[in-house]
Amino acid sequence: MLEARGVRKVFRTFERVPGLRGILKNFVAREHVDIAALDGVDLRVERGESVGLIGANGAGKTTLVKILAGIVPASSGEARLLGRDSFDLRDAEKRRLALVMGQKSQLWWDLPPIDSFRLLKEIYGVSDADFAERLARFASMLDVEDRLKIQLRQLSLGQRMKMEIIGAFLHSPEVVFLDEPTIGLDLISRETIRRFLVGLSRQRSVTFVLTSHDLEDIEETCRRIVVLDQGAVAFDGGLTDLSQRVTGKRAVEVHVHPNARIDEESLVAELSLHGAELAGRSAGALTVIVSAERLAELVPRLFSLLEVKDLSVERQPLERLIREIYRRGIKAAEGGER
Ligand SMILES: Nc1ncnc2c1ncn2[C@@H]1O[C@H](COP(=O)(O)OP(=O)(O)OP(=O)(O)O)[C@@H](O)[C@H]1O
Ligand SMILES: [Mg+2]
């Protein structure tokens, strides 16, 4: 369905020298820096898969989405979509894909969404019956039926995003790229959008590539995740595989007095007797990772070792593991999990 092979993307940026001298200098010989936004990405996505693309700011997610969707060309390597080079798509293939960018509107700002949708209907050649049925269904799923006739610019951020999503799905695309569709949205809108995406991917076999900084978006809508780190794939696999590595773990947050003197070395040694690890330390708080089975033996020990003011146990170190992957790569992250 879509494929990247050794995809590289290099951006050339020019550094500006400030001031009048700079203007002259910039005119004559500008200094440039090449940034490899993508540095050899390999990825293969089959029909009906939903892939969550995550990574820190600047990791290359948006660049990869744009290359796969055929908006910008790769500097080298190969990107293919629907059996064709992504940057050489014909109308026939373009009709089968959709792109939603959280940061950018695809609808007409001055028109009410309903008018934009009618234009899209003509552009994509959607039949009257399909159009009416889809619009009614999507607007109801996203709870914006009473907002269709209001100028887009007058809608709230969440309502606008929902309209963008309706617009993207009206022609019933087979491949959908969503780049941070929930950015800046409130909890309820995020949940509504997730439910919409999950509902659609169940009904038909739509292929999704979704990027988000909200791990819950990914956990609820995608089975597979790809972690990009500095332009390369740091992890690619099932979300359950990744969660299983961490579901047996607990994160114990221990609050102590900010001035408490803690001998870190002996604490670490003591923790290792219980198979536990010191995962973080800040003024007044320590985070300890331990297996669920050994939690009961560790907690009383913590009380005797430290002057505990408060203690809480969380079960979600998936976010922590992913942060580690960003920082150190999957192997190291797993090692650190021991
Ligand atoms: N048009 C451009 N010109 C120059 N550099 C660019 C351009 N677009 C992206 N970059 C650089 O490429 C790198 C990757 O950018 P990209 O937008 O793909 O990151 P991202 O993973 O989407 O980040 P974010 O989570 O912040 O959206 C960054 O270092 C960025 O500065
Ligand atoms: Mg981005």
From the CA of 64, give the closest atom in ligand 1.
18
Q: Is the pLDDT of residue 139 over 70?
A: yes
- CB of 14 closer than 6 A to ligand 1? no
Which amino acid, residue 5?
A: R
With b for 16 or more beta-carbon neighbours within 10 A and e for fewer, the 278-302 pattern comes to ebeeeeeebbbbbeeeebeebbeeb
CATH number of the structural domain spanning residue 31: 3.40.50.300
Instruction: Give 60's DSSP letter.
Output: S
Domain span at residue 140?
Answer: 2-243
In this predicted structure, the answer to whether residue 65 has a pLDDT above a threshold of 90 is yes
- Give the per-residue SS3 of 274-338: CCCEEEEEECCEEEEEEEHHHHHHHHHHHHHHCCEEEEEEECCCHHHHHHHHHHHCHHHHHHHHC
Could you say which of 211, 243, 275 is where a domain stops? 243
End position of a domain, from candidates 243, 265, 294:
243
Assigned token pair, 295: 């939690």
Selected residue with higher pLDDT from 33 and 116: 116
Which band of pLDDT confidence, cut at 50, 70 and 90, is reported for residue 338? very low
Structure confidence at residue 214 (pLDDT): 85
CA of 117 to the centre of ligand 1 (A): 30
- Is the distance from CB of 65 to CB of 211 less than 8 angstroms? yes
Q: CB of 282 closer than 6 A to ligand 1?
A: no
* Nearest residue (CA) to ligand 1, atom 12: 37
Please tell me the distance between residue 232's alpha carbon and the centre of ligand 1 in angstroms: 13
Query: Does 62 sit in the ligand 1 pocket, CB within 6 Å?
Result: yes
Mean pLDDT, residues 80-109: 92
Residue 318: the pLDDT is 64
Alpha carbon nearest to ligand 1 atom 25, residue: 57
253 and 233 housed in the same domain: no
Q: How far apart are CA 83 and CA 90, in angstroms?
A: 11
Give the separation between CA 34 and CA 274, rounded to whole angstroms: 48
Please give the Cα distance from 13 to 199 (Å, whole number): 42
Q: Which helix (H) or strand (E) holds 161?
A: helix 157-169
**Which of 78, 43, 2, 41 lies closest to 225, judged by CA?**
43
Q: Is 158 in the pocket of ligand 1 (CB under 6 A)?
A: no
Mutate to test the pocket of ligand 1, among 63, 210, 217 (most ligand atoms within 8 A of CB): 63
By C-alpha distance, which of 323, 242, 240 is closest to 287?
323
Residue scoring higher pLDDT (118 or 326): 118
Q: Which residues pair with 38 in a beta bridge?
A: 9
Best probe residue, ligand 1, of 8, 61, 68, 212 (max atoms within 8 Å of C-beta): 61
Q: Is the CB of 35 under 6 A from ligand 1?
A: yes
Which ligand 1 atom lies nearest to the CA of residue 231? 14
Proximal ligand: closest to the CA of 229: 1
Å from CA of 7 to ligand 2 middle? 17
CA of 241 to the centre of ligand 1 (A): 29
Domain count, the chain: 2
103 residue type, one letter: Q
Same domain, 118 and 72: yes
Verify that 194 and 256 share a domain, yes or no.
no
82, 89 Cβ separation under 8 angstroms: yes
Q: Using the 3D structure, point to which of 207, 227, 243 is the last residue of a domain.
A: 243
Q: Round to whole Å and give the CA distance between 30 and 22.
A: 9
How is residue 163 annotated by DSSP? Answer: H
Tokens of 28: 């004559």
Average pLDDT over residues 73-83: 95
Pick from 1, 172, 181: nearest CA to 86:
1
Integer angstrom CA distances of residue 116 from 122, 123, 137, 235 = 10, 10, 17, 39
Q: Say whether pLDDT at 336 is over 50.
A: no
The answer to whether residues 14 and 40 belong to one domain is yes
Partners of 227 in the β-ladder: 54, 235
Q: How far apart are CA 118 and CA 167, in angstroms?
A: 10
What's 317's domain CATH number? 3.30.70.250
What average pLDDT does this structure show over 251-262? 88
How far, in Å, from the CA of 102 to the mean position of ligand 2? 9
